[in-house]
Chains A and B, each alone.
Chain A
Amino acid sequence: MVEKPVISALEAARKVQAGNVVHVGGFLGCGSPDAVIAELAKLGTRDLTLVCNDSSILDQKSGKRNGVAPLIENRQFAKVIVSHIGTNAETQRQMNAGETEVVLVPQGTLAERIRAAGAGLGGILTGTGVGTEVEEGKQKLLVKDKVYLLEEALGGDVALIKAAKADRAGNLRYSKTARNFNPLMATACALVIAEVEELVDIGDLDPDDVHTPSIFVDFIVVSPRTEARA
Chain B
Amino acid sequence: MTEYVENKEIIARRIARMFHTGDVVNLGIGLPTLVGNYVPEGVTVILQSENGLIGLGPRPEPGKEDPDLTNAGGQPVSIQTGGAFFDSATSFGIIRGGHVDYTVLGVLEVDQEANLANYKIPGKMVPGMGGAMDLVAGSRVVVAATTHLEKSGASKLKRRCSLPLTAAGQVDFVVTDVGFFQIVGGRFHLKEWFEPYDPEWIMAHTDADVVVDDDSAACKDL
Q: Which residues of A are at the interface with B, using a C-beta cutoff of 8 A?
A: 27-31, 53-54, 57, 82-87, 92, 95, 104, 106-112, 114-115, 126-134, 164, 174-184, 211, 229-230
Contacts and interface: CB of A to CB of B under 8 A. Distances in A.
Contacts of A86: 127-128, 130
A177 B66 CA distance: 10
Contact of A107 (B66, B70, B92): B92
Nearest to A118: B89
Contacts of A84: 127-130
B96 interface: yes
Contact of B128 (A31, A82, A108, A129): A82
Given A30-B70, A184-B87, A106 B129 contact: yes
B162 to A, nearest CB: 14
A30 B165 contact: no
13 contacts: A30-B69, A30-B74, A54-B128, A57-B74, A84-B130, A104-B129, A107-B88, A107-B130, A127-B138, A174-B85, A176-B85, A177-B49, A211-B87
Given A53-B88, A131-B165, A179 B52 contact: yes
Contacts of B134: 106-109, 128
B50 interface: yes
Nearest to A82: B128
Interface in B41-60: 49-53
B169 to A, nearest CB: 7
B126 interface: yes
Contacts of A174: 85, 87
A131 B87 CA distance: 27
A131 B169 contact: yes
Nearest to A129: B133
A183 B91 CA distance: 13
A81 to B, nearest CB: 11
B172 to A, nearest CB: 16
Contacts of B168: 130-132
A100 B138 CA distance: 31
B105 to A, nearest CB: 14
A95 B127 CA distance: 11
B144 interface: no
A111 B131 CA distance: 10
Interface in B69-125: 69-70, 72-74, 79, 85-89, 91-92, 95-96, 115
A30 B51 contact: yes
A1 B127 CA distance: 45
Contacts of B96: 108, 126-128
Contacts of A164: 68
Contacts of B62: none
Contact of A180 (B51, B165, B167): B51
A135 B126 CA distance: 17
Q: Which 6 A-B pairs have the closest CB atoms?
A: A86-B127, A131-B168, A108-B92, A28-B74, A108-B134, A84-B128
Contacts of A57: 74
> Most chain-A CB neighbours within 10 Å: which of B66, B129, B164, B167?
B129
Nearest to B71: A177
> Most chain-A CB neighbours within 10 Å: which of B50, B53, B79?
B50
A110 B133 CA distance: 12
B196 to A, nearest CB: 36
> Most chain-B CB neighbours within 10 Å: which of A108, A180, A230?
A108
B164 to A, nearest CB: 5
Interface in B130-163: 130-134, 137-138
B133 A177 contact: no
B208 to A, nearest CB: 19
B185 interface: no
Contacts of B95: 108
A27 B129 CA distance: 14
Contact of A128 (B79, B91, B127, B138): B138
A177 B128 contact: no
A48 B133 CA distance: 27
